[in-house]
Chain A
Amino acid sequence: MSYTVLQHYWWAIISILGSVLAFLMFVQGGQTLIYTLGKTEDERTIIVNSLGRKWEFTFTTLVTFGGAFFASFPLFYSTSFGGAYWVWLAILFCFIIQAISYEFRSKPNNVFGHKTYEVFLFINGALGTFLIGTAIGTFFNGSQFSVNFANISNTGNPVISRWEVHSRGLEAALNIHNLSLGITVFFLARILGLLYFMNNIENEPVLVRARKQLLSNFIPFLAVFLFFVAWLLLKHGYGYHPETKVVSLVKYKYLHNFIEMPLVGLLFLAGTLLVLYGIIKSLLASYTKGIWFSGIGTVLVVFSLFAVAGYNHTAYYPSDFDLQSSLTIENSSSSRYTLTIMSYVSLLVPFVIAYIFYAWKSINDKKINLDEIKEESHVY
């Protein structure tokens, strides 16, 4: 494969991982609903155990997303993580407290009491989703950084990527478009969490409350999502010239990307319709499979957003400080050799998906209720 094809292939892999992560954040969304849906200790235990059997997938996907980004586009890793320090560290704090909360929550002598761990889960669910969404928003709205490879031979300060504002990434929260994506992700995760509960839990009071919550989360989600999309389609984007590689602001860049890559546009539309179908069908009838429609829809929508951010000569991590420092899939990727090696490794992914599917099918046939949990030797 040519270098260009490899770079596009790896952006597709990153997009897939990012979109699957967005879907799997139903775990985070569900964590923000523990007290809203669970009014008794038993109900909360059912909810936590339902989510607890999935949290590692979200976590593992996040770790793999990070590792794959590092391997394929190390300049992004270097620039964004080293620059937007506070945003990424805050996200990490949210995930540390999640990992232990499931395992420690119900264990005797856990020092801080089960409510503390439930608060940890709430923080992870609320802040984690919001921050990740806001951080991804900078893919469309830019950040304040510079990149200069020549710095490596400057012994006074050899750092190549430099963040040029002291707020270390927190400034992203001052941009309404970034914020709208953060809020969209937050509500989407909650909706997916609710749809997941409908499919996974067998407890009538919880399900009745879940259905009520679905509507009250759907309305703000739809409003903020439409706002985000409208702004995206109407705003300037960061394009670069295919020959000179010079980055410039381009009118309606993302709208043009959807039009010039019709398959991506179709995926976006299909994904949006599937998300809406899953939600509306679950609202109108006692339908429990909405998670599959909305989940697949989420994957398609997020994948297409990554595609318009990085394909069609678009700078996926633009710099407002210095346009020419903006990161593109061409200037920030690993070498051709490394991408080739990694491409061979990526052939394992279908095998991974197959064994995950098989393993889960074998232990996930029955819905979770109190009796099922009582029979288990491992309870969260």
Chain B
Amino acid sequence: MFDNIDLSMVNWSRGQFALTAMYHWIFVPLTLGLSFILAFMESWYVKTGDERWKRITKFWMTLFGVNFAIGVATGIILEFEFGTNWSNYSWFVGDIFGAPLAIEGIMAFFIESTFIAVMFFGWNKVSKKFHLVSTWLVAIGANLSALWILVANAWMQNPVGTQFNPEKARNEMSNFWDVILSPVASTKFIHTITSGFVLASIFVIGVSAWFLLKKRELFMARRSILVASIFGLLSSLVLILTGDTSARQISKIQPMKFAAIEGLYTGKEQAGLVVVGILSPERGDTAGIGNNDFVFRIEIPKILSYMASGSFDAFVPGINDMLYGNSERGIIPAQEKIERGRVARETLAAFKKAKDTEDTAAYNLLKNKFYDTEFKEDYFRYFGYGFLNDINGLVPNVPLTFYSFHIMVGLGFYFVLFFILFLVLLFRNKIENRRFMLRLAVFTIPLAYIATMTGWVVAEVGRQPWTIQDLLPVMAATSHIDATSVQVTFWLFAALFTALFIAEVQIMFKQIRLGPKEGRK
């Protein structure tokens, strides 16, 4: 299978997309959250007229500006890489995927780019209220753009509202509302933006803690911690709730990913949730592995079953159930899915042949199959499996997915505690004396980045080998290019992004050390 596809090119393309996405995601979550924190602070300034709040707002706005530009720069690459490196994907689902990208541009980017100019340059030129509205619109615009790209991403994980058109060999949108109002999309959107809010809150608290450690800008630091702790706590609670909902959705639509995040090879009832665990290094061949999947683990009984379906007794399928099938539970073996996928593919090939030979009867018969509910449910939904040979190719990288998930969840709960502690210390007026806590806050900043990055690793590595769940594997989504070209651009991007990242961090550090411009000596 894929005899004429250069697999090293596919992997370099994968690497390039992952590299761009990871660099992009270093900057975006801070933009998402900090934009709202700026809006809260400026609102308080406009309400009270207290110039100190304006000074605070402008300080964080400077950091926002430095971070924003590089997020924009890396974002444009992602948009175009869908075409440059994943041209087959762009055609196969472009009818659905392109729309959210275009709407993102029209609805969100223009709001952002227009009002960001007013936000930066309008302090002395527009009224206080108009400036405040602009700051809010920047926050809304930034988060709206996240909405559309996350709708698109959610659709890749859960393709709904679509109909395959055999004439054009592509999936076409059949219901726009199914695409944008998909529960997976709304959960993904809220979960992702709240992760940005949490990261930005931790960033603000960490930087403010540094000022307190240096005994500088005490008013700004205390007030910033107050705003960020409240915003962060509320966001982290929503983050956990949507994380729970997301887990339930994944267990239904991407059961292989769900099994991978828990390292569950053999399905069971009353499945426990691994809180901490070390996976067995002997794994590799998925066959026959049952109870020896872990070297060590601490487990909460029955919780995984509850996470999956809301019942402590429910059956949670493991990786082996999905590979080899489980007739008792009505799970089809992967090999059968591959056969069904091949039937769908061969039906498409026969349709094309009938069209070329002008065999009208066969043409109509075969065409109608792609619109027939039974054929769609029994065969076409496994179209992507038809590209695969080996059922083991259906298992994502379990250790990477498992550890990423547990790091993300562990840190998520730590952040809730972190925000509560800072709020308590703030209200007891003891924050400046707790130097350990202040240092902890500074060192929590990188942890927030690790948490949000691992979240994306779970989402994207965990769904491999699929570009579009069950419909298009990564190997079939590629462009017709050579590995050398992609290798060269990969290293060019890596060098450029790293250089810009170093510059950004250096500038940020310097701006923080300098503090607010007004009153600077």
Interface mask (A73-99 → B, CB under 8 Å = 1, otherwise 0): 011011111110110110011011111
A64 on interface, CB distance cutoff 8 Å = yes
Q: Does B233 contact A (CB under 8 A)?
A: no
Asked if B99 contacts A342 (CB within 8 A), the reply is yes
Contact call B480/A161, Cβ cutoff below 8 A:
yes
B299 at the interface (CB under 8 A from A): no
A62 vs B72: C-alpha distance when bound (angstroms): 12
A71 CA / B95 CA spacing, docked (Å): 6
Identify which of A212-220, A264-272, A312-320, A330-338 touches chain B: A330-338
Residues of A within 8 A of B76 (CB): 59, 62-63, 66, 92, 95-96, 99
Q: A60 and B113 in contact (CB under 8 A), knowing A70-B82, A338-B99?
A: yes
A75, A352, A376: the one contacting B106 at CB < 8 Å is A352
A356 located at the interface, meaning its Cβ lies under 8 Å from any Cβ of chain B in the complex: yes
Does A284 sit within 8 A of B, measured CB to CB?
A: no
Checking B72, B115, B123, B485 against A168 with a beta-carbon cut-off of 8 angstroms, the contacting residue is B485
Question: Could you tell me the distance between the alpha carbons of A338 and B122 in the complex, rounded to whole angstroms?
Answer: 39
Write the A135-158 contact mask toward B (1 if CB under 8 angstroms, else 0): 000000000000001101111111
Is B476 an interface residue, CB under 8 A from the partner?
yes
Report if A39 contacts B (CB, 8 A). no
Chain A residues within an 8 Å CB radius of B346: 153
CA distance A168 to B80 in the complex (A): 16
Give B475's nearest chain A residue, CB to CB. Answer: A158
Contacts A104-B69, A342-B102 known; A156 to B4 CB distance under 8 Å? yes
A176 interface residue per 8 A CB criterion? no
How many A residues are at the interface, by size bracket? 35 or more
Chain A residue contacts of B113, Cβ below 8 A: 56-57, 59-60
Q: Is A249 part of the contact surface with B, judged by Cβ < 8 Å? A: no
B-chain residues with CB within 8 Å of residue A63 when the two chains form the complex: 75-76, 79, 105, 109
> Within 8 Å CB of A103, what residues of B?
65-66, 68-70
A78 to B79, CA, bound (A): 12
The reply to whether A157 and B2 contact each other, CB–CB distance below 8 Å, is yes
Is residue B420 within 8 Å, beta carbon to beta carbon, of the partner chain? no
Write 28 A-B pairs (CB below 8 A) sorted by A numbering.
Answer: A56-B117, A59-B76, A64-B102, A66-B79, A67-B103, A68-B105, A77-B82, A78-B83, A82-B90, A85-B485, A88-B83, A97-B73, A99-B73, A100-B70, A100-B503, A109-B507, A152-B88, A152-B92, A155-B345, A158-B476, A160-B88, A160-B92, A166-B482, A334-B99, A337-B176, A355-B114, A377-B58, A378-B65
- Chain A residues, Cβ within 8 Å of B298: none
Specify which of B73, B75, B98 is in contact with A70 (CB 8 Å cutoff): B98
B465-517 with Cβ < 8 A to chain A: 476, 478-482, 485, 489, 492, 496, 499-500, 502-504, 506-507, 509-511, 514, 517
Instruction: Beyond A104-B503, A158-B88, A337-B172, list 10 extra A-B contacts (CB 8 Å).
Output: A68-B106, A92-B76, A96-B496, A96-B500, A104-B504, A152-B348, A155-B387, A341-B173, A378-B65, A378-B121
Cβ-defined partner of B87 (8 Å) among A82, A108, A362: A82
* Bound-complex Cα distance A74 to B72 (A): 23
What is the bound-complex CA distance between A363 and B116, given in angstroms? 12
Q: Shortest CB–CB separation between residue B353 and chain A, in angstroms? A: 9
B72's closest neighbor in chain A, by CB? A99
- A101 CB, min distance to chain B CBs, angstroms: 8
| Interface residues of B, count at CB 8 A | 102
- Given the known interface contacts A74-B91, A96-B73, A377-B517, the answer about A349 and B82 at a Cβ–Cβ threshold of 8 Å is no
Hey, which chain A residues are within 8 Å of B352, CB to CB? Answer: 149-150, 153
Residues in chain B near residue A355, CB distance under 8 A: 111, 114
Contact mask A333-376 → B, CB, 8 Å, 1/0? 01101100110011011001001100110110100000000011
Question: How distant is the Cα of A154 from the Cα of B499 in the complex, in angstroms?
Answer: 42
> Contacts of A360 on B, CB cut-off 8 Å?
114, 117
Q: Distance in Å from the Cβ of A216 to the closest Cβ of chain B? A: 32
A110 at the A/B interface (Cβ < 8 Å)? Answer: yes
For B47, what are the chain A residues with a Cβ–Cβ distance below 8 Å? none
Set of chain A residues within 8 Å of B110, measured between Cβ atoms? 60, 64, 352, 356
* Known pairs A64-B110, A335-B165; A71 contacts B102 (CB<8 A): yes
Chain A contacts for B66, CB-based, 8 A: 103-104, 107
Assess whether B168 is interfacial by the CB under 8 Å rule: yes
With an 8 A cutoff between CB atoms, is B11 at the interface?
A: no
